[in-house]
Amino acid sequence: MNKIEVVNIKCGGCAKSIEDALVKNGFSHVKVDPNCQSVEFEGDNFKLAESTLEKMGYPKAGSQKANSLLKKAKSYASCMVGRIKK
pLDDT in tens, 9-55: 988 888 999 999 999 999 999 999 999 999 999 998 999 999 999 99
DSSP 7-46: S---SHHHHHHHHHHHHHTT-EEEEEETTTTEEEEE-S-H
- For 2-81, CATH gives 3.30.70.100
Give yes or no for residue 80 having a pLDDT over 60: yes
User: What are the backbone angles phi and psi of residue 59, rounded to the nearest 5°?
Assistant: -75, 160
Q: Assign 75 a pLDDT band (cuts: 50, 70, 90).
A: confident
Structural domain boundaries of the chain? Answer: 2-81
Give yes or no for residue 2 having a pLDDT over 90: yes
Residues near 35 by Cβ (< 8 Å), separated by ≥ 6?
A: none
Q: What is the pTM of this model?
A: 0.83
Region 51-77: what's the mean pLDDT?
Answer: 81
